[in-house]
Amino acid sequence: MALPIRERTWERWEMSDPGTTSVSTEQVHFVAGATGYTGRGVVAALRRRGHLTWAHVRPDNRGLERWTTFFAEQGAGVESVAWTPEAIGASLARIRPTHVWSLLGTTRARADRDTGSAVPETYEAVDWGLSKCLLDAAVAAGSSPVFVYLSAQGVPERGGNDYLAVRRRMEHAVRASGLPFVLARPAFISGGDRLDKRPMERVYATAIDLALGPVSAFGGRGLVERWRSITGPDLGEGLVRLVADRGLRDRVVDGRDWWPLLVRSA
């Protein structure tokens, strides 16, 4: 049985969501990890709804000028401040966001090449260190924003590999922060429109999706929705529908929450 919406392009959501260009001043979103695959999807979905959106781009990013233009064309602001507690804290205190999106993450492959970042490309430094820096700044900002954390499917209660262990620590920190939160647990985030090509990840994602086809045919919809892969545009749209449109708070969400919304509008 075919799985719907296998490859959603950036343009299709914009074309299929009429009436989302009115300006809203009630929500103010700060998106960390905005240049990433999911981050671009989230910024685009927020701007389609007219929400005031600030995309964080680190000042030592080699593509800073290009990203500034990219987000400006969508009507989003760019906040280019260093990853220090003082700078991030001052930024959030000034913007006073209603929502803070933590969509940060690195890979082992990035650790092996020169990315130009002042922050080491490790799970401990990026996935934990920067995410925790952002969380602490959000707590101190004084606006009590909803903290949306991009975690991962399969986060165990204990043990696990380094990638999942860091996400477990961060989930615990978010829960203990006192902020309203949404913890998002997608499976593979994969698509042909991803800028940083990950061929092996694409192979695994495609194989899992193919294996899930028969499961769906025999009534295992929940299992399929939980573990099937998703593109950045789909995930961004799904999360914004849950967080910004429906106002979810203090929830762990996964494909069982966003896929029904996406499929109905396909």
Domain annotation covers residue 80: yes
Our count of domains for the chain comes to 1
- Helix and strand totals (H; E) in the chain: 11, 7
Domain annotation covers residue 205: no
Tokens of residue 155, six digits = 């986060």
Please state, for a pLDDT cut of 70, what percent of the chain lies above it.
74
Per-residue pLDDT at 223 exceeds 90? no
Look up the CATH number of the domain holding residue 35: 3.40.50.720
Whole-Å CA distances, 178 to 8, 25, 50, 58, 205: 36, 25, 28, 27, 35
Task: Measure the CA–CA gap between 26 and 99, rounded to whole angstroms.
Answer: 11
Segment 111-167, tens digit of pLDDT: 445 555 666 678 899 999 999 999 999 999 999 999 999 999 999 888 888 889 999
Task: Measure the CA–CA gap between 127 and 121, rounded to whole angstroms.
Answer: 9
DSSP 217-238: HTT-HHHHHHHS-B-HHHHHHH
Q: DSSP assignment, residue 198?
A: -
Per-residue pLDDT at 227 exceeds 60? yes
Mean pLDDT of 199-214: 64
Q: Which of 221, 266, 260, 228 is nearest to 242 (CA)?
A: 260
Domain annotation covers residue 216: no
Q: What is the dihedral sign for C-alpha 143, 95, 99, 133? A: negative
Report residue 219's pLDDT band, with 50, 70 and 90 as the boundaries. Answer: low
Domain annotation covers residue 43: yes
Per-residue pLDDT at 235 exceeds 50? yes
Are 49 and 244 within 8 A, CB to CB? yes
Place of tokens 């924003």: 145
Domain annotation covers residue 141: yes
Task: Measure the CA–CA gap between 196 and 208, rounded to whole angstroms.
Answer: 21
Domain annotation covers residue 251: yes
Task: Measure the CA–CA gap between 173 and 263, rounded to whole angstroms.
Answer: 33
Segment 15-61, tens digit of pLDDT: 344 334 444 458 999 999 999 999 999 999 999 999 999 999 999 99
Tally of CB atoms within 10 A around 254 = 20
Are 127 and 167 within 8 A, CB to CB? yes
Q: List, in order, residues 6 or more apart from 198 with CB less than 8 Å away.
A: 107, 109, 190
Give the residue numbers spanning the domain of 150. 10-189+230-265
Per the model's pLDDT, the better-predicted residue between 229 and 88 turns out to be: 88
Q: What is the dihedral sign for C-alpha 192, 194, 197, 203? A: negative
Whole-Å CA distances, 211 to 128, 194, 204, 208, 234: 32, 23, 11, 5, 21
